[in-house]
């Protein structure tokens, strides 16, 4: 199974911290943010990874991560997204790297208290399709800024709604997605959203409509350190007190 780490974006929600650097290079505790995502993938058993980034600071990832061996990565590759095109667009750049294998896609500003290795192992046994990692969110106002799954009476996902005015559940779709290689046949058929981007929610809903999407609810803390200045400092506080990526 391959890993694709998405570390692009303008980081506008963390401005002015991102005025002179990529948000994924900002510190969390005593390490750059992207280090936690690399560590999470390696602990989950994914050691062949591609980092997709862009902008004027892309070269800093090579300086920081090098060949990845220091982090336990066996093979580390890089791809450059020349303009903002959405998560699905960035994932499409990794098609040749992933080939006919399955892929774990992780947004590099996601930080978790617990390892998601059990989900990777479940996905390896899953016949086909995709798998989402969900996190329970207590504040409905927070959910209005996230992707939220709608569940039926049996607990099956029937769709994912992006930034819903009325959240259909108390769960958020985290920035960790697991797909079989058919995802690369879905991306070229997507229609760009009003933002001019290829949306990962459309990819997820394709698998849901096909009846091949499963999910897990993560245990412990989950934070999107790139969501806002407040979220960035909340993740920092949690990591300093409790660490991250525990087994």
The 10 Å Cβ neighbour count of residue 75 is 13
Distance CA 76, CA 9 (A): 20
Answer whether CATH 3.90.550.10 is correct for domain 2-242. Answer: yes
State how far the alpha carbon of 66 is from the alpha carbons of 20, 32, 95, in Å: 21, 14, 22
Q: How confident is the model at residue 53 (pLDDT cuts 50, 70, 90)?
A: very high
Q: How confident is the model at residue 224 (pLDDT cuts 50, 70, 90)?
A: very high
Burial degree of 153 (CB within 10 A; 0-12, 13-18, 19+)? exposed
Q: Is the pLDDT of residue 196 over 90?
A: no
Q: How confident is the model at residue 11 (pLDDT cuts 50, 70, 90)?
A: confident
Whether 12 contacts 23, CB under 8 Å? no
Distance CA 166, CA 168 (A): 6
How is 110-123 classified by DSSP, letter by letter? EEESB--HHHHHHH
């Amino acid at each position: 199974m391959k890993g694709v780490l998405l570390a692009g974006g303008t980081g506008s929600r963390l401005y002015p911290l991102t005025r002179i650097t990529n948000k994924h290079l900002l510190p969390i505790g005593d390490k750059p943010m992207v280090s936690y995502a690399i560590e999470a993938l390696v602990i989950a058993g994914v050691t062949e990874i591609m980092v997709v980034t862009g902008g004027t600071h892309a070269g800093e990832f090579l300086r920081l991560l090098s060949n990845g061996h220091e982090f336990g990565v066996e093979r580390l590759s890089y791809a450059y997204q020349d303009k903002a095109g959405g998560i699905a667009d960035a994932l499409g750049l990794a098609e040749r790297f992933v080939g006919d294998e399955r892929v774990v896609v992780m947004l590099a500003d996601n930080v978790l208290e617990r390892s998601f290795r059990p989900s990777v192992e479940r996905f390896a046994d899953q016949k086909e399709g995709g798998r989402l990692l969900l996190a329970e969110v207590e504040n409905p106002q927070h959910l209005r800024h996230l992707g939220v799954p709608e569940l039926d009476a049996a607990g099956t996902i029937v769709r994912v709604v992006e930034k819903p005015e009325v959240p259909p559940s108390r769960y958020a779709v985290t920035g960790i997605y697991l797909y079989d290689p058919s995802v690369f046949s879905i991306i070229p058929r997507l229609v760009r959203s009003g933002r001019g981007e290829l949306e990962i929610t459309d990819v997820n809903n394709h698998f849901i409509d096909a009846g091949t999407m499963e999910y897990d609810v993560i245990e412990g803390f989950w934070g999107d350190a790139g969501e806002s200045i407040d979220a960035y400092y909340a993740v920092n506080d949690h990591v300093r007190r409790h660490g991250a990526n525990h087994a």
